[in-house]
Amino acid sequence: MTPRSTMKERASAALRDEFLRRAVKTTTDKLFLGRRLAQQSYEDWERLRDRGRAIRAHVIDNLDFYLGRLTDRVRANGGQVHLCREAADVVRVVTEIAARRGARSVIKSKSMVSEEVRLNRALEEIGVRAVETDLGEYIVQLAGEMPSHIIGPAIHKNRQQIAELFSREAGRPVAPDTESLAAFARRRLREEFLRADIGITGCNFAVAETGSVCLFTNEGNGRMVTSLPPVHIAVMGMERIVPTLEDLEVMMHLLPRSGTGQKLTSYVTIVSGPRREGESDGPEEFHLVIVDNGRSRLLRDPRFREALYCIRCGACLNVCPVYRQIGGHAYGWVYPGPIGAVITPLLQDDLDRWGDLPFASTLCAACSEACPVKIPLHDLLVRHRARYVAAGKAGMAERAAFRAFRRVFGAAKKYKVAVGAAEKLLRLWVRDGHMAPRVPGLKGWTDSRDFPALARRRFRDLWPELEKESPGQKGGKAHG
Amino acid sequence: MTSTYPAPFILSNIYDKIKSTLQREEWEAARGTAVLRVSLFVTCLVDACFPEVGVSAVRLLRRLGVEVDFPPEQTCCGQPAFNAGFHREAGAVAQVWLESFADSDYIVTPSGSCAGMIRHGYGELWAGTSPVGSLAKELSEKTYELSQFLVEILGVRDLGARFPAKAVYHPSCHATRLLGIGDAPLILLRRVRGLELVDLPFAEECCGFGGTFSVKFGEVSGAIATDKARNVMGTGADVLVGTDMGCLMNIGGRLRRLGSPIRVLHLAQLLEEGLA
């Protein structure tokens, strides 16, 4: 997968990987059904969604205020706050802490933002080993890949492939059964937990009122990473705030039910600063790294601002017919699926390289329907397409085609003449009521599907006869 | 925290029921004095490729005592350009649509997707405050997909049709998600004599059409269509029925390529054939 490949090329490559497609479909099916059951088990899911959306909208509309409040509370709790505009700023802040502490080993629990800024690579460059401790992230790290799903980073891998990765790491064969694999990871990661100088986590939500960082995990690794090493660094996207603990409760219902179909994740960890006097555990230092990295571009643009409401549950991926065929890597960066196609072009601010992502959608709106905070993702995808076209990025042939569309469909008279002429011309390719494959411009369709011939008489040509029929007349000449 | 929630679900359901009853009563009152007049928006796809669907729709509506006209200046709602990002072009074509239907009482179309464009997409295209925007808003509120119109406005459930076959119904994404027609097509289909309606696995998953997507990302689109076609074939049905010719052309095109003999019919065709 070359970095300069197009979405279409990456999608085609993914389609040829039968294993990947099976694995992605099995897992997304499971998550999809789980979500449905979990939502049905909540008394009033729709109203919960509305409430979640209202909370997110309120925070995004008043983000400056809540960032200020969060910063004040974290500092009052004895933590340090670092505001980072660019990816490079995050890297600088974290590597400086690592250098000051003389750190050699870092353990991490899941953080998509750290993938955005490629933090692991930056740490390795200064000689610090970073080890992922979320099982899925650990597998992806050993494979040298990116996560392919927001909440299931390694859903594209099977047990056999994982056993091969673990065996290479262990220097001895690890059996490909779940128990052996989990036992190896547990033993291996335990050593890392005990040795680490710094723990780095993501942040599902930061609570402004209390200056807390909240993590939803299922493996307990989040708790280890935040309590064992002497330093805890939490990296968060700047929009990831809820005002109060009460609001957090709404998210505690929404996120797991939408993501994994759980009523609650196995662990919910709320960290409010470093160890205080008289406390027996917790880190000596707590750092909150608040990351912009392109988010203010979304905040500034009313067309796309709603994308910041996202709580990163991954529900839109699981229902997306495109994602379900090609998996996450085809989207080319950190965030896949519908939400990835919406935020990547803006976070990366590069239309030439990422502007084709929003076109990889059928606009079926399954994403908008699944979104727990009701982001109208399909509308945002269309707005992206309009932005791309307005920037003059559409191909020449397509531009010409839609200029013609405007002329032909812009007046019934022209339409009648043009469609009539097209029908006569296309008769050359008609076989048995359908177009022969390889009609110019239709290859993408006819490679896998038949395309119907245009009708010899259009509805508008049949209308004068049809108009004269008496109501209830059975059958009639007007039928084609 | 639960105590701060507004009224529970059940009340809003009752509210919806009252609303739809009121709508129906309004219509019933109107029917007493005058015949209901409907303008058919046939859609460009049905006009050019599947005119028989439009014919069936007109005959169905007339049987129910509705007066149908066909505004001759209509072409397309503009959705192909809109979804492709060509909003200037979409706006120009959509304006022709608005002019064509400016005087209509009701606008009925045999496509949930095109109705969805008018009801939802026009709001994206124009803000409601401009003169065009307010006309678009006014007309969009009078626009219905055919089965939605039959069930919600005419209050029809049983058309008295007979169609002995085993059928599957594909719920089209724009009809259900953008337009919210709900179970309207199923309400009509369940009452067709002799019709055995079987469940389609993953029914709510898109067929992969997506307008220009089907050509731009032809391989992905084809792969999604393959899944849909296989699910349809797996039911052992003789007939595939739906509310949108775009989706049906896509699934049907894949079925035909796979050599399947399954008949693909628009809901209007099935109902009208069942009445003939």
- pLDDT for residue B26 is more than 70: no
Q: What is the pLDDT of residues A173-217, one digit of tens each?
A: 999 999 999 999 999 999 999 999 999 999 999 999 999 999 999
Which pair of tokens denotes residue B126? 């124009």
The one-letter amino acid code at A470 reads S
- Write down the mean pLDDT value for chain A: 94
Domain B158-275 has CATH 3.40.50: yes
Terminal Cα-to-Cα distance of chain A (whole angstroms): 50
Closest CA to A231 of A94, A379, A89: A94
Which band of pLDDT confidence, cut at 50, 70 and 90, is reported for residue B31?
A: low
Mean pLDDT computed over B125-137: 88
Of B73, B177, B221, the CB nearest to A412: B73
Q: What is the pLDDT of residues B69-123, one digit of tens each?
A: 999 999 999 999 999 999 999 999 999 999 999 999 999 999 999 999 999 999 9
Max CA pair span of chain A: 93
Chain B neighbors of A479, CB-CB under 8 A? 52, 55
Which band of pLDDT confidence, cut at 50, 70 and 90, is reported for residue B16?
A: low
Backbone angle region of A204, left / alpha / beta, with phi > 0 → left and psi within -120 to 50 → alpha: alpha
Q: Is B221–A360 a contact, with Cβ atoms under 8 angstroms apart?
A: no
List all residues 6 or more positions away from B269 whose beta carbon is below 8 Å from its beta carbon.
Answer: B52, B53, B56
The answer to whether A371 and A338 have CB atoms below 8 angstroms apart is no
- pLDDT of amino acid B128: 67
- pLDDT for residue B153 is more than 90: yes
B46 to chain A: closest CA residue: A459
Q: Is A362–B89 a contact, with Cβ atoms under 8 angstroms apart?
A: no
Strand partners, B264: B240
- pLDDT for residue A322 is more than 80: yes
- pLDDT for residue B13 is more than 60: no
Residues 172-191 of chain A with CB under 8 A from chain B are: none
- pLDDT of amino acid A216: 95
Q: Using N-to-C axis directions, what is the helix angle for B87-101 and A396-409, rounded to 10°?
A: 10
Asked if B159 is an interface residue toward chain A (Cβ–Cβ < 8 A), one would say no
Q: What is the pLDDT of residues A327-339, one digit of tens each?
A: 999 999 999 999 9
Q: Is A361–B213 a contact, with Cβ atoms under 8 angstroms apart?
A: yes
Which band of pLDDT confidence, cut at 50, 70 and 90, is reported for residue B8?
A: very low
Q: How far apart are CA A389 and CA B90, in angstroms?
A: 12
Which band of pLDDT confidence, cut at 50, 70 and 90, is reported for residue A32?
A: confident
- pLDDT for residue A476 is more than 50: no
Chain B neighbors of A452, CB-CB under 8 A? 49-50, 249, 252-253
Angle at alpha carbon of residue A271, lines to A104 and A81, rounded to 5°: 70
List all residues 6 or more positions away from B175 whose beta carbon is below 8 Å from its beta carbon.
Answer: B111, B112, B113, B115, B116, B145, B181, B185, B243, B244
B228 to chain A: closest CA residue: A321
Q: How far apart are CA A466 and CA B54, in angstroms?
A: 10
How many CB atoms neighbour CB B250 within 10 A? 29
Mean pLDDT computed over A383-408: 97
How many CB atoms neighbour CB A396 within 10 A? 7
- pLDDT of amino acid A85: 97
Whether pTM > 0.90 for this model: the answer is: yes
Strand partners, A206: A213, A241
Q: Is A363–B213 a contact, with Cβ atoms under 8 angstroms apart?
A: yes
Q: What is the pLDDT of residues B179-212, one digit of tens each?
A: 999 999 999 999 999 999 999 999 999 999 999 9
d(CA B253, nearest CA chain A) in Å:
4
Q: How far apart are CA A372 and CA A249, in angstroms?
A: 14
How many CB atoms neighbour CB B56 within 10 A? 25
The one-letter amino acid code at A266 reads S
- pLDDT of amino acid A43: 87
- pLDDT of amino acid B29: 58
- pLDDT for residue A419 is more than 90: yes
Mean pLDDT computed over A317-321: 96
- pLDDT of amino acid A2: 46
Q: What is the pLDDT of residues A443-459, one digit of tens each?
A: 899 999 999 999 999 99
Domain ranges of chain B: 2-152, 158-275
Mean pLDDT computed over B262-269: 98
How many CB atoms neighbour CB B135 within 10 A? 17
Which band of pLDDT confidence, cut at 50, 70 and 90, is reported for residue A343?
A: very high
Asked if B180 is an interface residue toward chain A (Cβ–Cβ < 8 A), one would say no
Which band of pLDDT confidence, cut at 50, 70 and 90, is reported for residue A281?
A: confident
> Number of H helices and number of E strands within chain A?
23, 13
Q: Is A362–B84 a contact, with Cβ atoms under 8 angstroms apart?
A: no
A249 to chain B: closest CA residue: B1
List all residues 6 or more positions away from B2 whose beta carbon is below 8 Å from its beta carbon.
Answer: none
CA distances from B173 to A96, B15, B87 (A): 51, 26, 22
Q: Give percent of chain A above pLDDT 70.
A: 98
Closest CA to A362 of A324, A330, A405: A324
- pLDDT of amino acid B22: 58
Buried b (16+ CB within 10 A) or exposed e, A316-355: bbbbbbbbbbbbbbbbbbbbbbbbbbbbbbbbbeebebbb
Closest CA to B260 of B268, B272, B251: B251
Mean pLDDT computed over B249-276: 97
Q: Hey, is B177 helix, strand or coil? A: helix
Mean pLDDT computed over A320-347: 97
Which band of pLDDT confidence, cut at 50, 70 and 90, is reported for residue A471?
A: confident
- pLDDT for residue B27 is more than 70: no
DSSP B197: E
Q: How far apart are CA A139 and CA A141, in angstroms?
A: 5
Chain A neighbors of B48, CB-CB under 8 A? 419, 423, 454-455, 458
Any alpha helices (H) in A171-227, and if so which ranges? 178-195, 221-227
d(CA B23, nearest CA chain A) in Å:
25
- pLDDT for residue A351 is more than 70: yes
Q: Hey, is A380 helix, strand or coil? A: helix
- pLDDT for residue B19 is more than 90: no
The one-letter amino acid code at A277 reads E
Which band of pLDDT confidence, cut at 50, 70 and 90, is reported for residue A151?
A: confident
Q: How far apart are CA A320 and CA A364, in angstroms?
A: 8
CA distances from A310 to A60, A75, A146, A254, B187 (A): 11, 26, 20, 11, 36
- Cβ-in-10-Å burial (0-12, 13-18, 19+) of A4 comes to exposed
C-alpha count within 13 angstroms, C-beta hemisphere, residue A404: 9
Which domains are assigned to chain A? 42-293 (3.40.50.10420), 398-468 (no CATH)
Closest CA to B45 of B78, B90, B82, B76: B76
List all residues 6 or more positions away from B34 whose beta carbon is below 8 Å from its beta carbon.
Answer: none
- pLDDT of amino acid B9: 43
d(CA A178, nearest CA chain B) in Å:
29
- pLDDT of amino acid B10: 43
